């Protein structure tokens, strides 16, 4: 199988590393500017670096477009003109409507285009932050009907091989959901920081007290605008709609704060919000279905994590996710381990108890 990756940043580089590690026999060709292509070759994210777009795609069975959304759209006609008729072309763009619409025109006679969006990323930028495990257990949206799964089986096989969990969604549904759970939170975080920054210039104390919840909620305000420019422009209709809905909700809160029944109204809202928040699988992180959790209390000593994971490795138990929930310096902490099945979680409990780890 010949696979071409156009755009060798974090996502493209991670795809190359993951495919080379998990898809035996695949030949990966990369295309980007000379510097990025050279870096990808040094990291062994690709087997070959192409010198032109046409050369990179002419014999490819699968083509991944791993560039910003507007660049993906701009490259489509050239890719369609040079690729094989049987080629499968996909992308990793964060919005899907504009891409799918452009693809209908570009790939009328050559190639089959399937919109894609891996729910994975890195706070770093560039091939040096690429990670072959980036897609392990990550939700990978494909904008195709399930009945097309046979037609695009080479693509789905590659995605399963690198550990992704495929979710089929129409492009409009993807963009509507993304506006609510990703794009709106980003803009809210930016707005909160903008407001507090303006207030802090007039009066001290805001930033000194901006810890805890405020810091957690606004963490994503550190995201660079470059990665959001195309998202805001290509999904503006859905984002504007969700902003209006959210603004109306906040205004209703403001009005309720004036009424004598404010306590009752907010009690219901807080209770409902907690119920919904608690319903989000704590061990999902993009997983399509919940895993099975095991909590392990461990001493704060050198090698304790290595001992835990080594014991599970010897028992041939695969940890699907791991998180340090809390730690007390010099005393210990609690790890949350997630497993594919309940049986594996119970076997892990037995193994760790035998090694004198305390499971909760």
Q: What is the pLDDT of residues 44-82, one digit of tens each?
A: 999 999 999 999 999 999 999 999 999 999 999 999 999
Count of domains for the chain: 3
Q: Has residue 280 been placed in a domain?
A: no
Q: Is the predicted pLDDT of residue 284 greater than 70, yes or no?
A: no
State how far the Cα of 326 lies from the Cα of 278, in Å rounded to an integer. 19
State residue 193 phi and psi, 5-degree precision: -65, -40
Please state which of the ranges 56-60, 273-277, 314-318 shows the lowest mean pLDDT.
Answer: 273-277
Q: Show which of 239, 260, 281 is a domain's final residue.
A: 260
State how far the Cα of 99 lies from the Cα of 113, in Å rounded to an integer. 10
Average pLDDT taken over every residue of the chain? 89
**What are the CA-CA distances from residue 105 to residues 59, 99, 100, 101 (Å)?**
22, 10, 9, 7
State how far the Cα of 117 lies from the Cα of 97, in Å rounded to an integer. 12
Q: Show which of 169, 192, 219 is a domain's final residue.
A: 169
Residues 12, 143 within the same domain: yes
Angle at 111 between CA 109 and CA 114, to 5 degrees: 120
Residues 165, 222 within the same domain: no
pLDDT for residue 223: 82
In sequence order, the 6+-apart residues with CB closer than 8 A to the CB of 90 are: 62, 63, 64, 65, 113, 114, 115, 116, 142, 155
pLDDT for residue 288: 40
Greater confidence (227 vs 319) lies with: 319
Q: Has residue 275 been placed in a domain?
A: no
CATH classification of the domain holding 319: 3.30.70.260
Beta bridge pairs of residue 27: 2
Q: Has residue 74 been placed in a domain?
A: yes
Residues 155, 207 within the same domain: no
For the segment 249-270, what is each residue's pLDDT rounded down to a tens digit?
Answer: 999 999 999 988 889 899 999 9
Of the candidates 134, 158, 202, the one whose C-alpha atom is nearest the C-alpha of residue 64 is: 158
pLDDT for residue 215: 81
Residues 116, 138 within the same domain: yes
In sequence order, the 6+-apart residues with CB closer than 8 A to the CB of 276 are: none
Residues 56, 161 within the same domain: yes
Residues 178, 150 within the same domain: no
Residues 112, 201 within the same domain: no
pLDDT for residue 335: 87
Angle at 348 between CA 342 and CA 354, to 5 degrees: 145
CATH classification of the domain holding 93: 3.40.50.720
State residue 97 phi and psi, 5-degree precision: -55, -55
Q: Is the dihedral of CA 149, 150, 153, 155 positive or negative?
A: negative
Q: Has residue 64 been placed in a domain?
A: yes
pLDDT class of 289 with cuts at 50, 70, 90: very low
DSSP 93: -
Beta bridge pairs of residue 49: 30
Residues 11, 158 within the same domain: yes
pLDDT for residue 329: 55
pLDDT for residue 47: 97
pLDDT class of 281 with cuts at 50, 70, 90: low
For the segment 185-242, what is each residue's pLDDT rounded down to a tens digit?
Answer: 999 999 999 999 999 999 988 888 877 788 878 888 888 888 899 999 999 999 999 9
In sequence order, the 6+-apart residues with CB closer than 8 A to the CB of 310 are: none
Q: Has residue 209 been placed in a domain?
A: yes
Residues 347, 202 within the same domain: no
Q: Has residue 200 been placed in a domain?
A: yes
Q: Show which of 169, 194, 223 is a domain's final residue.
A: 169
Q: Is the predicted pLDDT of residue 37 greater than 60, yes or no?
A: yes
pLDDT for residue 285: 43
Beta bridge pairs of residue 292: 339
Beta bridge pairs of residue 321: 338
Kindly state the percentage of the chain with pLDDT values over 90. Answer: 64
Host domain of residue 334: 292-359
State how far the Cα of 192 lies from the Cα of 194, in Å rounded to an integer. 5
Residues 222, 321 within the same domain: no
Residues 78, 180 within the same domain: no
Residues 178, 139 within the same domain: no
Q: Is the predicted pLDDT of residue 116 greater than 90, yes or no?
A: yes
Q: Has residue 231 been placed in a domain?
A: yes
Tell the burial category of 45 from Cβ atoms under 10 Å away from its Cβ (0-12, 13-18, 19+): buried
pLDDT for residue 266: 92
Q: Which residue matches tokens 């407001």?
A: 195
Q: Has residue 24 been placed in a domain?
A: yes
CATH classification of the domain holding 186: 1.10.3660.10
């Amino acid at each position: 199988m010949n696979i071409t990756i156009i755009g060798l940043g974090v996502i493209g580089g991670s795809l190359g590393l993951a495919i080379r590690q998990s898809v035996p026999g695949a030949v990966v060709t990369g295309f980007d500017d000379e510097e990025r292509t050279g870096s990808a070759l040094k990291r062994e994210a690709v087997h070959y670096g192409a010198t032109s777009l046409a050369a990179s795609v002419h014999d490819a069975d699968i083509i991944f477009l791993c560039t910003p959304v507007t660049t993906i759209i701009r490259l489509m006609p050239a890719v369609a003109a040079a690729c094989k008729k049987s080629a499968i072309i996909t992308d990793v763009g964060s919005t899907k409507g504009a891409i799918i619409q452009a693809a209908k025109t570009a790939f009328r006679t050559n190639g089959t285009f399937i919109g894609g969006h891996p729910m994975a990323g890195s706070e770093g930028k560039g091939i040096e932050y690429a990670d072959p495990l980036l897609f392990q257990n990550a939700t990978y949206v494909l904008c195709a009907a399930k009945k097309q799964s046979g037609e695009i089986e080479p693509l789905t096989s590659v995605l399963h091989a690198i550990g992704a969990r495929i979710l089929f969604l129409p492009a409009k549904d993807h963009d509507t959901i993304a506006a609510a759970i990703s794009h709106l939170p980003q803009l809210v975080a930016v707005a909160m920081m903008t407001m507090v920054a303006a207030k802090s210039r007039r009066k001290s104390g805001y930033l000194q007290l901006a810890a805890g919840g405020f810091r957690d909620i606004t963490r994503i305000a550190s995201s660079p605008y470059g990665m959001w420019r195309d998202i805001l422009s290509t999904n503006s209709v859905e984002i504007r709609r969700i902003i209006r809905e959210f603004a109306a909700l906040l205004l209703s809160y403001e009005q309720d704060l004036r009424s004598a029944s404010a306590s009752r109204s907010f009690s219901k809202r807080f209770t409902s919000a907690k119920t919904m928040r608690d319903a989000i699988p704590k061990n999902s992180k993009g997983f399509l279905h919940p895993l099975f959790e095991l909590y392990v209390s461990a001493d704060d000593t050198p090698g304790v994590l290595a001992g835990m994971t080594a014991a599970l490795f010897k028992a041939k138990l695969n940890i699907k996710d791991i998180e340090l929930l809390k730690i007390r310096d010099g005393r210990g902490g609690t790890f949350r381990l997630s497993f594919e099945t309940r049986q594996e979680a119970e076997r892990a409990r037995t193994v760790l108890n035998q090694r004198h780890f305390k499971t909760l």
